[in-house]
Amino acid sequence: MRLPRIQAENLWQLFVDRNAALQFDIQQKPRTESVLMTIYRQLPLLKLLEVKVSSINNKISFTHLTSSGSQRSFVFNAPFDDEEWHKIIIVINGDELQVTENCHQLVKKAVYDMSFPMVSNIRAHIGEDIDGNFHFEGKMREFSADSGNPIQLKCPNLEIMMDNPVETIIETTPAPHLQDSENSEEVRAQNEQQKKDKENDEVAIAKTARFDERLNYLEDQFKHWKSLVQGLDARLKKVELYQRGCQYGGRIISFGEKQHNAINCTECQCSTTGELHCGPIGCPHVKCAHPIQVFGECCPKCGAPCFYNGHDYEHGEEVWPKSCVKCTCANGKMTCQFRKPDSCPQLECSEQATPENQCCPVCTNVDHCGAKHSPCDPNADCENGPFAPVCKCKTGFFGNGTICYDIDECLWDDNARQQLGGCQMGTMCINLAGSFKCDCLPGFQRLDERNCLDVIRI
């Protein structure tokens, strides 16, 4: 993307003033090297600044043309080959260069001779090289440039990289014609003055550079250990406040968002901590003993009742009105069958009994739940009845026991949440298989399992 000329010139002026902050949010493809930003003078063509990232050797480089005409590059190590999202912040603030990646500080050092030439006719490309052809291989969901230092705001718990060497490369080339004809004398005089100032400052720089670097190192160490002792709550708060979402199917979904798979009846939901929770689709709890599974739908419904011999029966309910006659309610229609006694299966047990009005005897005093082919659902408990196993869905599930469905507790209304202990203020409900949990919303602090408090009000 090529920036408009005015924006490009304003962007370069930030560097000339040595008060620039760049922010990139990228996801790079493996084994690639790409340009994040390039700034150049159009006529005659001259590259002024370039930011590159590599997932081949896991490095980021910041290269700029100095006022003396040399090309200087700063190279840092950062893990770009993991196909995760990376937030890169580059700050030029006076004589200080600071670079962070996902709130990990890569470098913070004094660079006393940092300067950027004043030129006009500026052009800038984002995500491509100077020719506009070498496009960034991956995804870039954010780019911003401004003055000031946003690191403290973006990374309140900045982590210091203890062993991250910075490679500085300086290539001295013949000084190009940086000036335009209309202001060449002014710029030449300024460059001469800068050269004299540089020579006068070299002695002082040599004496103070090592002291400043050691002081910066001690300050960084103090900040590092301070962030460590803040504990787990501070780390969780950072994730809650700045988590952008979860990866799902090669893209990012925002926290709270659900993705359904109607083919296998599963769903995934992104929590505020960036954790992706996947499992069976949760369903509204229908109040019937034998829910109907409708074709093409994941959640069941209650079938129509039956009226038979002066009595009401639920869908799926069985009754034996007389000997060897079995009637079943099937979605509003009562179906009865006569069973001949001579069709009963042969039993191999010594203790047998015939239930009331039924036609065939069954084994008694046996472990029905220990059978190899138990009719109970995996999410049901089996109890031994007098003549057959009794299947009951576990807590957090509903159904007839042979088929159990997950209850979506996040669908409870206000009354149900109050009575049954659902998620309350400052939380986001995450449905789990047979249960649920309450995540604190960004900016909220946990009070208990069901409530979170706005930290601004503490």
- Residue 147 domain-assigned (yes or no): yes
pLDDT mean over 124-142? 84
- Distances in Å between the Cα of 129 and the Cα atoms of 13, 145, 344, 437 are 20, 18, 83, 47
Q: Contact, 60 vs 101, CB < 8 A? A: yes
- Residue 372 domain-assigned (yes or no): no
pLDDT mean over 53-66? 91
State the CATH number of the domain containing residue 168.
2.60.120.200
Distance, in Å, from the CA atom of 59 to the CA atom of 410, rounded to the nearest integer, reads: 44
Residue 154 and residue 78 share a domain: yes
pLDDT mean over 206-223? 66
- Residue 398 domain-assigned (yes or no): no
Residue 218 and residue 344 share a domain: no
Instruction: Check residue 163 and give its pLDDT.
Output: 52
Of 205, 229, 253, the position where a domain reaches its end is: 229
Residue 55 and residue 150 share a domain: yes
Distance, in Å, from the CA atom of 413 to the CA atom of 425, rounded to the nearest integer, reads: 13
Residue 197 and residue 107 share a domain: yes
Residue 322 makes CB contacts below 8 A (sequence gap 6+) with 357
Distance, in Å, from the CA atom of 38 to the CA atom of 385, rounded to the nearest integer, reads: 77
Work out the pLDDT band at 242, boundaries 50, 70, 90. very low
pLDDT of 245 > 90? The answer is: no
Residue 159 and residue 247 share a domain: no
Q: Contact, 433 vs 427, CB < 8 A? A: no
Residue 319 and residue 264 share a domain: no
Least confident of 44-48, 191-195, 393-397, 421-425: 191-195
Residue predicted with more confidence, 341 or 101: 101
In 3D, which of 330, 309, 333 has the Cα closest to residue 320?
Answer: 309
Residue 321 makes CB contacts below 8 A (sequence gap 6+) with 309, 327, 336, 357
Instruction: Check residue 162 and give its pLDDT.
Output: 52
- Residue 399 domain-assigned (yes or no): no
- Residue 403 domain-assigned (yes or no): no
Helix (H) or strand (E) holding 14: helix 5-16
- Token digits for 90? 């580059």
Question: Number of folded domains in the chain?
Answer: 3
Residue 423 and residue 314 share a domain: no
Instruction: Check residue 233 and give its pLDDT.
Output: 60
Instruction: Check residue 86 and give its pLDDT.
Output: 94
Work out the pLDDT band at 68, boundaries 50, 70, 90. confident
In 3D, which of 64, 87, 71, 54 has the Cα closest to residue 14?
Answer: 64
Look up the domain containing 436 and give its range.
239-282+408-457
Residue 179 and residue 51 share a domain: yes
Instruction: Check residue 273 and give its pLDDT.
Output: 80
Work out the pLDDT band at 113, boundaries 50, 70, 90. confident
Mean pLDDT taken over the chain: 82
Distance, in Å, from the CA atom of 182 to the CA atom of 195, rounded to the nearest integer, reads: 22
- Residue 374 domain-assigned (yes or no): no
Q: Contact, 99 vs 107, CB < 8 A? A: yes
Residue 303 and residue 207 share a domain: no
Distance, in Å, from the CA atom of 440 to the CA atom of 458, rounded to the nearest integer, reads: 15
The amino acid occupying position 316 is G
Instruction: Check residue 451 and give its pLDDT.
Output: 86
Instruction: Check residue 42 and give its pLDDT.
Output: 85
Distance, in Å, from the CA atom of 92 to the CA atom of 26, rounded to the nearest integer, reads: 20
Residue 259 and residue 148 share a domain: no
pLDDT tens digit string along 169-209?
655 444 444 444 445 555 555 566 666 666 666 655 655 66
Cis peptide before 386 (omega within 30 of 0): no
Instruction: Check residue 457 and give its pLDDT.
Output: 41
pLDDT mean over 270-279? 86
pLDDT of 90 > 90? The answer is: yes
Residue 278 and residue 149 share a domain: no
Instruction: Check residue 260 and give its pLDDT.
Output: 87
pLDDT tens digit string along 2-42?
888 888 999 999 999 999 999 999 999 999 999 999 999 98
pLDDT of 275 > 80? The answer is: yes
Residue 249 and residue 195 share a domain: no
Instruction: Check residue 209 and give its pLDDT.
Output: 60
Of 306, 340, 362, the position where a domain reaches its end is: 362
Instruction: Check residue 174 and give its pLDDT.
Output: 46
Instruction: Check residue 202 and give its pLDDT.
Output: 60
- Distances in Å between the Cα of 368 and the Cα atoms of 134, 344, 358, 361, 364 are 70, 19, 19, 15, 9
- Residue 384 domain-assigned (yes or no): no
- Residue 271 domain-assigned (yes or no): yes
Instruction: Check residue 247 and give its pLDDT.
Output: 83
pLDDT mean over 290-316? 91
